């Protein structure tokens, strides 16, 4: 064993550092030199103690944090960078069916999807996202066309950001002809996850809807991320059914519920029981803390052991005109709407868009440690709590140790 340790130590010492990032301020306040080789972090030593064998970049005591995790977005439906499309309100409150109809009308007059997808990717990368999960519409109306377009754009951006794609049944599964078959084909085509949408209120068949989603996931060995806008006890019932299927198929850690608005309608013991159920089932919850809905209680869920992550969701599309693709700003909004004031609470909001996002997306090599991917962001802030409340826009984004964006502008080599 001693000989093995000696050999490993020698191999580490012999690893050539291609780029040495000096004077990086970590979250604990320490100044560190970060050595990168082959796109990975190979050394982390106190500032000034590492000999440079390659290029040297002085980070000038900027706060260095892991790249942000954009955990829920729609690359196929955003109008960011396109002509402004005024928001059209629903006839009576919020209706998913009507919003889907508005979206179809707007998409027909929008710029080409690949152009709009690139605009949105540039926005997110420029703000520090190095990992993303995007839902892409797959149903009887668009079939696999949107997915094919976004798959091609993903390939173009492979050196700038890692993107997971979800086959998303925007028009329902059972109500939309041929959708189950198309979703199955989508996974074979290159989608990474299978999605769902409001099994009770949209398809009006919870068991039938979930049987398709979990069946595809089981057949292909992929994970699940289900949109759930259903409120109050209806939303809770659907969550209970999702958790039950997750446990029955031993898929703990492989299932996410996005939005889960109903959790925000629960109070007291009911909310705590729901949190315990979700935690025990290993289901993750995504929230973007929307301004027009109750949203899951982030602190309560985290205290119960639930992995809570976040995403921009819609950016200037048919659902709402807001969105800036900045996950640091999203952390601020989560903290603001959750009543987070202390440093520990602000760090929790930051965790939702970084480490917890990485856990929910099951990312390999995430973080600031030896062996991890050299994906990080530099910020002009003294520490994480200040970064969350100040949302400094001056930042540099590194992917695999290479500069890919500075102050919002993507850099292509």
**DSSP summary character for residue 67:** P
State the DSSP string of 229-251: ---HHHHHHHHHHHHHHHHHTT-
Give the phi and the psi of residue 263 in degrees, each rounded to 5. Answer: -65, -30
**Residue-range domains of the chain with CATH:** 16-66+368-410 (2.30.40.10), 68-360 (3.20.20.140)
What is the Cα gyration radius of the chain?
22
Question: For residue range 72-109, what is the model confidence (pLDDT) as tens digits?
Answer: 999 998 888 777 877 777 777 666 677 777 766 666 67
Q: How confident is the model at residue 107, as a pLDDT? A: 66
**Is 168 in a helix, a strand, or coil?**
strand
CA-nearest of 245, 343, 265, 350 to 308 is: 350
What kind and span of H or E run contains 262? none
Find the angle CA(256)-CA(405)-CA(148) to the nearest 5 degrees. Answer: 50
Task: Assign 8 a pLDDT band (cuts: 50, 70, 90).
Answer: very low
Q: What is the pLDDT of residues 156-194, one digit of tens each?
A: 999 999 999 999 998 899 988 899 999 999 999 999 999
- Share the mean pLDDT of the chain: 92
**Distance between start and end Cα atoms, the chain:** 45
Residues 40-69 have a mean pLDDT of 94
Q: How far apart are CA 277 and CA 260, in angstroms?
A: 14
Residue 236 tokens, joined = 């809770």
Cα–Cα dist 298/271, whole Å: 11
Give the pLDDT confidence of 368-377 residue by residue, as tens digits.
Answer: 999 999 999 9
Q: What is the pLDDT of residues 121-148, one digit of tens each?
A: 999 999 999 999 999 999 988 899 999 9
Identify the burial level of 126 via C-beta atoms within 10 angstroms of its C-beta, where 0-12 means exposed, 13-18 middle and 19 or more buried: buried
Residue 399 clears pLDDT 80, i.e. is over it:
yes
Q: Is the pLDDT confidence value at 45 over 70?
A: yes
Q: Which of 19-23, 256-260, 306-310, 318-322 has the lowest mean pLDDT?
A: 318-322
Polymer length of the chain? 413
pLDDT in tens, 217-236: 999 999 999 999 999 999 99
C-alpha of 37 from chain center: 26
Q: How far apart are CA 363 and CA 321, in angstroms?
A: 30
The span from the CA of 296 to the CA of 301, in Å, is 8
In this structure, how many other beta carbons lie within 10 angstroms of the beta carbon of residue 105? 11
CA distance 224 to 163: 15
């Amino acid at each position: 064993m001693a000989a093995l340790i000696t050999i490993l130590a020698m191999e580490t010492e012999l690893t050539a550092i291609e780029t040495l990032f000096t004077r990086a301020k970590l979250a604990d306040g320490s100044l560190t030199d970060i050595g990168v080789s082959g796109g990975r972090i190979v050394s982390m030593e106190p500032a000034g103690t590492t000999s440079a064998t390659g290029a040297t970049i002085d980070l000038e005591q900027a706060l260095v944090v892991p790249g942000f995790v954009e955990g829920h977005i729609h690359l196929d439906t955003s109008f960011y960078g396109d002509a402004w499309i005024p928001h059209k309100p629903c006839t009576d409150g919020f209706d998913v069916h009507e919003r889907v109809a508005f979206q179809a009308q707007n998409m027909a007059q929008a710029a080409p999807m690949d152009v709009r997808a690139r605009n949105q990717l540039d926005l997110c990368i420029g703000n520090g996202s190095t990992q993303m999960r995007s839902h892409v519409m797959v149903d009887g109306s668009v079939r696999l066309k949107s997915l094919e377009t976004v798959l091609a754009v993903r390939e173009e951006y492979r050196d700038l950001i890692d993107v997971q794609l979800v086959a998303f049944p925007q028009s329902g599964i059972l109500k939309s002809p041929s959708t189950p078959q198309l979703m199955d084909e989508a996974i074979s085509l290159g989608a990474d996850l299978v999605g769902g949408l409001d099994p009770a209120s949209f398809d009006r068949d919870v068991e039938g809807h979930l049987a398709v989603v979990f069946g595809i996931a089981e057949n292909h060995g992929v994970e699940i991320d289900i949109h759930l806008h259903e409120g109050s006890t209806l939303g809770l019932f659907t969550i209970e059914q999702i958790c039950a299927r997750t446990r029955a198929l031993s898929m703990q850690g492989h299932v996410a519920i996005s939005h889960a608005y109903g959790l925000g309608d629960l109070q007291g013991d009911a909310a705590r029981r729901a949190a315990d159920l979700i935690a025990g089932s290993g289901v993750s919850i995504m929230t973007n803390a929307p301004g027009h809905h109750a949203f899951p209680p982030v602190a309560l869920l985290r205290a119960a052991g639930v992995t809570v992550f976040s995403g921009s969701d819609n950016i200037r599309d048919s659902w709402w005109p807001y969105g800036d693709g900045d996950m640091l700003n999203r952390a601020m909004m989560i903290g603001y709407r959750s009543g987070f004031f202390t440093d520990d609470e602000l760090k929790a909001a930051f965790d939702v868009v970084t480490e917890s996002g990485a856990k929910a997306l099951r990312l390999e090599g995430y973080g600031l440690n030896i062996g991890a991917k050299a994906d990080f962001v530099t910020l002009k802030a003294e520490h994480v709590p200040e970064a969350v409340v100040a949302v400094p826009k001056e930042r540099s984004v590194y992917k695999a140790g290479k500069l890919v964006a500075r102050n919002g502008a993507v850099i292509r080599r």
